[in-house]
A and B are shown apart, each in its own frame.
Chain A
Amino acid sequence: MARHAKRSPAIRSLAQRRQVNGIGITKYADGYALKVNLVEPLSVELPNEIDGVPIAVDLVGPTFPASS
């Protein structure tokens, strides 16, 4: 279900936003949720769920290659 929701037009559109960097599937209670990673806070409200799948937002900031 979460995998299906991740492919929905709403999520595909969300993934195009510049504040969003990666959407994945995370464990949530007895099921799964979609995890939306943000570089910076979104200016729009997200729905609580898409296609019955809960949405979790995580402000992870910029991502870097992990060599020193």
Chain B
Amino acid sequence: MNFESVRALKEELLQTTLESRRPSRRVQLRRSLPWGLESEELSPVGMGAKLASPGIALGIAKSEKNGYRLAVRVQDRRDLRGPAVETINDAAAGEIDLRYTGPTMPAAGGQWHRDRCDPIRAGASLGSQPQRTTGTLGCFVEPAGGGDLALLSAAHVLAGWDRGKPGDEIIQPGWDDRNGGDVPVAELSDAVKLGSPSLEDDDCAVAQLRPGVDADPVPGLAAAAAEADEPVRKDGRTTGHTEGRVLAVEVGPLEVPYPKLGRLRFDNLVEVDGQEDLPFAAQGDSGSVVLGAPPRALGLLFAVTGRGGRNGRGVSYLAPLPRVLQTSKSS
């Protein structure tokens, strides 16, 4: 296509296909939340005028031949094969440059979270090499029976969708951030089998650090139960350092759809939301350990929503860390 044709197609699609994905009306909540919202209306988050995250953005890219094609950038992997992208592809007669970008967030502090860290530390990107996953290093733990230092994260980060095997290589940064600079830092030692139908299991796994890998653990951090409304903070691969509050405790049963595993149920969770206009976490922050004030390790982040909470930017769910350590036989 020539440049003007791509530009015209882009404008047309923005007015039609993508417009139709936006909420046609504001969702009426029957009753306002008790946290001081003045209106009983909440705007669904996700598809604003600029197709905010999670969403689809269109642009113009150079074609491999002489000419141009439609650039399609999706922030959610599910959109790669979704109906909107299919419609866009048809409209462009297949002349699209489709790429997954991951969630787009305001720059949150330093960008070290997605970089190679030496020593490795909590909040850094990591993942499973064979499972091609990306998430966050939660913290360092010691096996209850003694032994070398291990790292803790979410099971679906370290072992994928129940496909990880002991000894699997854990890389830092994770798969989506590697850019050729990833380093094997640990080996999967134990992961909860998420497909096992038990409300007592949490999405957590540990991996033994490789000899010679330099780690920077936070000394003297104890695991404790979260209290409703207490301030919290975390470092995560996608949203960096964020602060928020415990919105609810003892939340459950919560159903989370896991790819290849179906809808899994979790119980007695901690729910957190972000401050000001920011979400507390997003996809890629799984495995983050959330700290309270005074500093205590409260929970392991493993799931998020795109809306809800006091600022409407979604809530994050944590498995209580005392339970996680019990499950992973660590301290």
Binding site for B on A (CB under 8 A): 3, 6, 15, 21-29, 32-33, 35, 37, 41-42, 45-46, 48, 54-68
Q: Which B residues touch A62, using CB under 8 A?
A: 257, 305-306
Residue contact A66 to B308, C-beta cutoff 8 Å: no
A57 and B237 alpha carbons, distance in the complex (Å): 30
| B interface residues (Cβ-Cβ under 8 A, vs A) | 27-31, 33-34, 42, 44, 77, 102-103, 127, 133-135, 154, 156-157, 174, 176, 203, 228-229, 237-238, 247-259, 269, 271, 281-287, 301-309, 314-317
The CB with the most chain B CB atoms within 10 A, among A21, A24, A26, is that of: A24
Q: How distant is A39 from chain B, measured CB to nearest CB, in Å?
A: 9
Are B27's CB and A66's CB within 8 A? no
| Contact assessment for B134 and A33 in the assembled complex, using a CB-CB cutoff below 8 Å | no
* Interface pair A63/B303, CB less than 8 Å apart: yes
Known A26-B34, A26-B229, A66-B283; further 7 A-B contacts with Cβ < 8 A: A24-B248, A25-B228, A45-B30, A60-B309, A60-B315, A61-B307, A65-B302
Among candidates B33, B238, B306, B314, residue contacting A56 with C-beta atoms closer than 8 Å: B33
> In the complex, are the beta carbons of A66 and B282 less than 8 A apart?
yes
Nearest-neighbour CB distance to chain A for B167, whole angstroms, equals: 21
In the complex the two chains form, is B29's CB within 8 Å of A65's CB?
no
A60 and B238 CA atoms in complex are apart in Å by 20
Residues on A with beta carbons closer than 8 Å to the beta carbon of B229: 26-27
Cβ 8 A contact of B254, one of A29, A41, A56, A63: A63
Most buried by B among A26, A28, A57: A26
Are A66 and B134 closer than 8 Å at their CB atoms?
no
Given A29-B34, A41-B28, A58-B308, CB of A64 within 8 Å of CB of B303: yes
Residues of B within 8 A of A22 (CB): 251-254, 269, 271
B200 to chain A, nearest CB (A): 16
Residue on B with the closest CB to A28? Answer: B34
Q: Determine whether the beta carbon of A25 is less than 8 Å from that of B248.
A: yes
Q: Which residues of A contact B251 (CB under 8 A)?
A: 22-25, 35, 37
10 closest cross-chain pairs (CB), A and B: A60-B308, A24-B251, A24-B248, A68-B284, A27-B229, A66-B286, A22-B254, A60-B305, A27-B228, A67-B286
Across the interface, which residues of B come within 8 angstroms of A67, CB to CB? 127, 133-135, 154, 156-157, 283-284, 286-287
Contacts A25-B250, A27-B228, A59-B27 given; indicate if A66 touches B309 (C-beta within 8 A).
no
Contact of A59 among B134, B253, B269, B307 (CB under 8 A): B307
- A-B residue pairs in contact (CB < 8 Å), sample of 21: A22-B271, A23-B251, A24-B269, A25-B228, A26-B248, A28-B34, A41-B30, A54-B34, A57-B30, A60-B314, A63-B254, A64-B303, A64-B304, A65-B154, A65-B256, A66-B283, A67-B154, A67-B156, A67-B157, A68-B102, A68-B284
